[in-house]
Amino acid sequence: MPESQPPESHQQQPSGNGGGAATGSTVLVLGGARLADGRTVDVRLSGGRIEAVGTTGSLVPGPRLDLGGYLLLPAPAEPHAHCDTALTADLAGPVPYTAEDVQRRTTEAALLHLAHGATAVRTHVRIGGVRGLRSLEAVLEARHSLRGLIDLGAVAVARVLTGVAGADGLAMLRDAVGMGASVIGGCPDLDPDPTGHAEAVLDLAARHGCAVDLHTDGDDPARLARLAAMAGGLRPGVTIGPCGGLARLPRDVAGRIADRLAAAGVTVVCLPQGDCVGLEHRGGQGARVAGCAPVRLLRAAGVAVAAGSGALRDTVNPVGRGDPLEAAYLLASRGESGPTEAYDAVCARARAALGLPEVRVEAGFPAELLAVRGDGLAGVLSLAYSRVVIHDGRVVARTSAVREYCDSAAAVALDLPRQSRPQSRPDSRPESRPADGDGQS
């Protein structure tokens, strides 16, 4: 018998964070997957949702994907990306910002995030200056082309919103909302009047019913306290990040700020790999400041903390993978969270920050899932090579990795997967094992 069926009262709605193509009556059974609680189950997907979860072999036969050896998890989300500037680290000369270049970079970066498991991405797009709204327009075109593969939400980010120079920024933010930007952003640290900047963003968001996502290093306690006072009660919500500067404050000061952020319901998105292009001015004329918000301190105060990737091979960070499991791994390896809490930061907390419905591997929840070859959460955070990504009830990306060793006496004695073996028939293939090391590819 199935272990769970859809509850009648569970009617979560999509957030409109980019949308996906309708799945119709598509049905798929995920067979023999291991859950985080240790159970091995079959999961039936239909119409973009989890229809039933049952013991292995209990569900009605149909199209089936064997997930034996895989850990099945709710899919993560990427709450802080810069897709329009991604993949530019190796370019010679100025970064091109034609519509074609921005759309191509955004598409490639979004697909990298998707391949690693994120079925929803929030990307921050700078508006104003000589580029005006052109980059945002190109990102929105990429969002349209990616419908059905990944939900891509755009944050319109203005640099200056106060004084004479700020009038143009405010006008562009209003236009950006009309174009389809789902979130209003800003960079208070770059404005001559940081408090006025935050106030302008919050006021505009309140009038348009938009969420807010602000870039800030978080190293000014008074400024954060004022922001928390202004943000309290705003719906659909306020997110700030990456807030690496909070970790450089005295612990008692950071603790008091954390209490205020928690009381105001402000979410903090940390970047475990370091700062991003939104704060490229910090640290001395563009030098990158590597740091992460004090996640353990913030969580202890009751602050909702999500984790993102941030820079992806751009002018701020020449490397990067756009991998939510790497962000979770870094949180766990630095002692900021255990493996479960670290994955929660890139999954449940990240989805909540994006305004997306909750996902559990239970009947009735959205079929947004990630299967990773491995036995337990700590293991897949360490060796997450082979992955299957499911968005809106269908497989949208799959990565398989195989590890083999050269022929040697040791390889034979230890029965290691080898590059070649004696073949019993002409069409037989060399035996191999996945890089995750459990004996199946």
Mean pLDDT confidence for 102-128: 97
- Alpha helices by DSSP H, listed for 4-45, are none
Cβ atoms within 10 A of the Cβ of 236, count? 12
* DSSP states of 136-200: HHHHHHHHHHTTTT-EEEEEEEES--SHHHHHHHHHHHHHHHHHT--EEEE-GGGSSSHHHHHHH
The DSSP symbol for 405 reads B
More confident residue, 276 or 51: 51
User: CA 80 to CA 349: how far, in whole Å?
Assistant: 12
Give the full edge-to-edge strand order of the sheet including 211-216.
78-81, 120-126, 151-158, 183-186, 211-216, 238-242, 267-270, 305-307
**Is the pTM higher than 0.85?**
yes
Phi-psi region of 132 (alpha: psi -120 to 50; beta: other; left: phi over 0): left
pLDDT at 420: 66
User: CA 291 to CA 110: how far, in whole Å?
Assistant: 24
pLDDT at 217: 94
* Amino acid code (one letter) for 277: V
Mean pLDDT confidence for 256-269: 97
Domain range list for the chain: 2-74+359-399, 78-353, 404-441
Domain 2-74+359-399 class?
A: mainly beta
Crossing angle of helices 163-179 and 134-145, in 10° steps, is 20
- Residue 161 C-alpha from the chain's centroid: 28
Q: What is the largest CA-CA distance in the chain?
A: 80
User: CA 310 to CA 276: how far, in whole Å?
Assistant: 5
**What tens digit of pLDDT does each residue of 382-401 get?**
998 999 999 999 999 999 99
Tokens of 352: 């909540």
Tokens of 288: 């990158």
CA distance to 16, 62, 393, 396, 434, per residue, from 21 (Å): 12, 22, 11, 12, 32
Tokens of 331: 């949180």
**What tens digit of pLDDT does each residue of 313-351 get?**
998 888 999 999 999 999 999 999 999 999 999 999 999
Instruction: Measure the CA angle with vertex 97, ends 93 and 103; round to 5°.
Output: 125
E strand or H helix that includes residue 402 = strand 402-403
User: CA 222 to CA 285: how far, in whole Å?
Assistant: 24
| pLDDT of residue 5 exceeding 70 | no
pLDDT at 10: 28
Tokens of 266: 């402000």
| pLDDT of residue 426 exceeding 70 | no
CATH tag for 78-353 (out of 3.40.50.2300, 3.30.710.10, 3.30.40.10, 3.20.20.140): 3.20.20.140
User: CA 294 to CA 298: how far, in whole Å?
Assistant: 6
User: CA 440 to CA 321: how far, in whole Å?
Assistant: 25
pLDDT at 232: 83
- The shares of helix, strand and coil residues in the chain, as percent rounded to the nearest 5, are 35, 25, 45
- Helix and strand totals (H; E) in the chain: 12, 19
- Residue 127 C-alpha from the chain's centroid: 22
Q: Among 90-94, 161-165, 225-229, 431-435, which is the least confidently predicted range? A: 431-435
Average pLDDT over the chain, rounded to whole?
88
> Is residue 153 within 8 Å of residue 122, measured between CB atoms?
yes
> Is residue 312 within 8 Å of residue 320, measured between CB atoms?
yes
Tokens of 183: 């979130």
Q: Among 175-179, 273-277, 339-343, which is the least confidently predicted range? A: 273-277
SS3 state of residue 207: helix
Pairing of strands 238-242, 211-216: parallel
Phi-psi region of 320 (alpha: psi -120 to 50; beta: other; left: phi over 0): left
Instruction: Assign 3-class secondary structure to 263-310.
Output: HHCCEEEECCCCCCHHHCCCCCCCCCCCCCCCHHHHHHCCCCEEECCE
Q: Residue 213: which of 148, 347, 130, 310 has the closest Cα? A: 310
